[in-house]
């Protein structure tokens, strides 16, 4: 089974205006949407499109948390959230008015007792289960939270996938994650230099493998992606053609596609193809990738 963790899920309240936002004035929307999200939840959503079941873990609080839970259930996603006694699941306001303005909520504080409850849920994971950790750590938790969770799972055969930046990513390498997914700029920040060629990216990816990562998937936006797999092989892929209308969730979608592709075939080249199709399908859509769009792009890649 695949498990995703979203520490600070959100309801994105997306407001569309006909005219530029006027600060200090009454602005009237021409339309609005509510999108249920968070990086791990995005991964679960795309996995569902691919016919792969998953369990979305994390923390919810208050009426907004109950709303998010009901909404995900209506989408057919299985969840097993820890319910916090205080606070409320955050609402992020996204104003689209030519330029996009965002106001992101802080989210609830997560007490130690809630972390222990999450750890008890993770204690049920066994060999061949996959755990996907994505995104930043909320301010109320220690920045070594990823390390804490992976240390607890060590020796159980659980495959960990980590999509995070800088120290959050580097510090988990000692636990030999199955997959990490930096983009080329994040990878450059980690190794301390700008990466401009495939050869430089491959060398930097191998550096992270030497520190413990098994597979390093490097996304490069419109330039495609590069995978250095645990067997030392390099896989390079371009992007299908299309107009980018949305970058939110594209990286999460790539992770979902890669994991689903690998689980179905145990082929790293196929996993990279499906991951690229899923990431592009989200980038070319207003929301997350759909099965129809993924299938369409798989024919092009």
In a domain, 116, yes or no: yes
**Beta bridge mates, 218:** 226
CA 209 to chain centre: 21
CB 40 within 8 A of CB 146: no
In a domain, 127, yes or no: yes
pLDDT of residue 166: 84
Neighbours of 200 (CB within 10 A): 16
Burial annotation 240-278 (CB, 10 A radius, 16+ → b, else e): bebeeeeebbbbbbbbbbbbbbbbeeeebebbbbbbbbb
Mean pLDDT (whole number) for 182-206: 93
For the record, the structure tokens of 67 come out as 């709303």
Mean pLDDT (whole number) for 17-25: 93
Each residue's pLDDT tens digit, 257-283: 999 999 999 999 999 999 999 999 999
In a domain, 122, yes or no: yes
CB 59 within 8 A of CB 82: yes
For the record, the structure tokens of 176 come out as 């030999």
Mean pLDDT (whole number) for 286-301: 89
Looking at the structure of the chain, the number of domains it has is 1
For residue 42, what pLDDT band results from cuts at 50, 70 and 90?
very high
In a domain, 23, yes or no: no
Neighbours of 164 (CB within 10 A): 21
Whether 180 has a pLDDT exceeding 90, the answer reads yes
In a domain, 18, yes or no: no
What CATH code is carried by the domain that includes residue 178? 3.40.1190.20
pLDDT of residue 58: 96
Q: Specify whether the backbone of 109 is left (phi greater than 0), alpha (psi in -120 to 50) or beta.
A: beta
Each residue's pLDDT tens digit, 239-260: 888 888 777 788 999 999 999 9
278 backbone dihedrals φ, ψ, rounded to 5°: -70, -45
pLDDT of residue 300: 85
pLDDT of residue 51: 94
In a domain, 148, yes or no: yes
Q: Considering the chain, what percentage of its residues have pLDDT values greater than 90?
A: 78
For the record, the structure tokens of 78 come out as 């299985």
Whether 217 has a pLDDT exceeding 80, the answer reads yes
Domain with 217 in it: 2-8+39-66+110-300
Strands 90-97 and 99-103, bridge-based pairing:
antiparallel
Each residue's pLDDT tens digit, 120-177: 999 999 888 999 998 888 889 998 999 999 999 998 999 999 998 888 899 999 999 9
pTM reported for the whole predicted model:
0.92
Could you give the residue numbers annotated as active site? Answer: 252
Task: Please tell me the distance from the alpha carbon of residue 123 to that of residue 138, in angstroms, as a whole number.
Answer: 22
CB 162 within 8 A of CB 180: yes
pLDDT of residue 246: 76
In a domain, 103, yes or no: no
Mean pLDDT (whole number) for 85-92: 95
**Beta bridge mates, 183:** 219
Q: What are the percentages of helix, strand and coil residues in the chain, rounded to 5? A: 40, 25, 35
In a domain, 104, yes or no: no
pLDDT of residue 71: 96
């Amino acid at each position: 089974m695949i498990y995703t963790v979203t520490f600070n899920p959100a309801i994105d309240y997306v407001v569309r205006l006909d005219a530029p936002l006027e600060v200090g004035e009454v602005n009237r929307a021409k339309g609005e949407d509510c999108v249920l999200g968070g990086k791990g939840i995005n991964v679960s959503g795309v996995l569902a499109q691919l016919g792969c079941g998953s369990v979305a873990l994390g923390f919810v609080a208050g009426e907004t948390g109950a709303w998010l839970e009901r909404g995900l259930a209506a989408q057919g996603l299985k969840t097993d959230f820890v319910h916090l006694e205080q606070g409320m699941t955050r609402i992020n306001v996204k104003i689209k008015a030519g330029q996009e303005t965002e106001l992101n909520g802080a989210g609830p504080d997560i007490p130690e007792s809630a972390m222990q409850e999450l750890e008890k849920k993770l204690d049920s994971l066994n060999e061949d289960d996959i755990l996907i950790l994505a995104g930043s750590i909320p301010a109320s938790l220690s920045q070594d939270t990823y390390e804490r969770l992976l240390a607890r799972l060590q020796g159980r055969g659980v495959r960990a996938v980590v999509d995070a930046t800088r120290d959050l990513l580097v510090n988990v390498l000692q636990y030999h994650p199955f997959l990490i997914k930096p983009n080329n700029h994040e990878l450059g920040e980690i190794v301390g230099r700008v990466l401009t060629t495939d050869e430089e990216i491959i060398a930097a990816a191998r550096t992270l493998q030497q520190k413990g990562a098994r597979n390093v998937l490097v996304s490069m936006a419109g330039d495609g992606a590069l995978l250095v797999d645990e067997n030392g092989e390099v896989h390079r892929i371009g992007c299908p053609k299309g107009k980018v209308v949305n970058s939110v969730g594209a990286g999460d979608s790539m992770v979902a596609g890669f994991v689903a592709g690998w689980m179905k075939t145990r082929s790293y080249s196929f996993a990279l193809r499906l991951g690229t199709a899923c990431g592009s399908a989200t980038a070319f859509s207003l929301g997350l990738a759909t099965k129809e769009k993924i299938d369409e792009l798989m024919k092009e890649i």
